[in-house]
Every structure is written in structure tokens, then in C-alpha cells.
Amino acid sequence: MAGMTRNFVFSVTKGTRGRSNNNYKLAVLRAEKSLKYAYIDRRNKKRDIRGLWIQQIGAATKGFGVSYSQFIHGLNQANVALNRKMLAEIAVNEPFSFMSLVNEVKEKFSLPDRNRKKMNEEDYQILADPVLPEEFRVAPPSPGDLGFPLLHERFAKAQAKADEVNEENIKAGKVILPKVEPKKYRRGKRKTPGYRVPVKKDRAAEKERRKAKKKEKKPSTSQPKRI
């Protein structure tokens, strides 16, 4: 490749296996191939990530009975300026907010619920709101319209109950908390924040201690004197 100096070629192939990290003839070929794929993948990465966002949005809209294409078209018509990256973040981390967006699109364009056709009435009511009493169960236009405030209450109750159970388990010793390991100090000459000043030892006393240990370990091999 034109314009590549010798030092640049070896900087690209540094750490590679074989002779391509020290042989210039082989290193040029390896560097050209590496830079070519790096150029291609810098562009492929953007479309791959966008495809991942579309997958996440499509999986979230399917649960509310709307296809991905209907949802995106409805947002464009409703002048909701959210790109696919933000929609994917909302779908993964804020499902209640995403449900309100889907419901807004369904109400504005009167889209039929696809889950309504696939399920029987009992299953659809459970999907819409499993806690709603039987006498108030009227076929809602979309899952979550009647159960949205109740879902918030259910979530808060479940979270409070989980906290209570966790505290009881910790007190009973059923849950083992992670051990906090002591900070490891670096040894070196520079006085950095992690540096520990070594303590000066009394070398003479240490030698005496070692000699005493050796005497304790080794049994006496001297034989008694004959008379």
C-alpha cells in the first residue's frame, strides 16, 4: 500500500503470530489485509448496530400486538422525533414508557390488535391485565389500557416484597454477602497513591529467629560418647 512507512507497517503488525511482526515483506501483506478489513468493518458496524436496535423494537412491539413497520409508520405520522437507538433503549429499560408510545399509535390510527386474533378471550384478558377483577374485565382496545396504573402498583408491591424477603434471608444467614477484599498495594519506588512504604526489619534478629527454627526442626545426629 502506497504511503506506508516501514515503522508504520510494523506498528500495525505488532503482536501478530509468525514472521509478519519482524519480516518486512510479510508484514506489508498482513498490514494491507488488516487495514482493508478495518475500513470495511468501520462501515459494517453501523448497520449491524442499527439492525440490533430494530430487532429489540420489533420484539417489544410484538408483545403489544403491533408490527414493527406499523409502529414506525405511526410514530412518523404522529411527529414523534425518536430515533431507533432511543426507542430500543426505552423498550429495554423503560417498558411502561414504551407501552404508552405503542398505545398512542394504536389509538390514533385505530390499529387492530394482532394478539386478539391469535389468543382466546381468557388468555387475552390475562395479557391485558392479570390482576383486574372479573366484573371489570371488558375487552380493552389494547393490552395495558386498563391495567397501566395497576401495573405500576403491582411493580411497587413486588419490589417492596422482594426487599423484605432479601432482608430476612440476610438476617437468617441464607444469603452470603460478597466479601470485600483488602486493597492490594503496588510495590515500587514511586510514591503513588497505591504505594506502601516498606517497613525496615531488624536483620540480625531475623537471622537469629531463622537459626532457632532450624535447630528445632533438625534432630541431633551426634552419638553419645563411649567410656
Q: What is the DSSP letter of 29?
A: H
State the residue for C-alpha cell 518486512.
24
Looking at residue 105, its pLDDT comes to 86
Q: Give the type of residue at 166.
A: N
Render each residue's pLDDT in the chain as its tens digit; 227 residues.
Answer: 667 898 999 999 998 888 988 899 999 999 999 999 999 999 999 999 999 999 999 999 988 888 898 899 888 888 888 899 999 999 998 888 888 888 888 888 776 666 556 655 555 555 555 455 555 454 544 444 444 556 667 767 777 887 887 788 778 877 656 566 666 655 555 555 555 555 667 788 888 888 888 887 766 666 666 65
Q: How many residues does the chain have?
A: 227
Please provide the DSSP assignment of 151-186 as one string: HHHHHHHHHHHHHHHHHHHHHHT-S-PPP-PPPPPB
Cβ-based burial of 208 (10 A; exposed 0-12, middle 13-18, buried ≥19): exposed
C-alpha cell at 28: 506489508
What is this structure's pTM? 0.46
* Domains assigned to the chain: 1-112 (1.10.1900.20)
Q: Give the type of residue at 32.
A: E
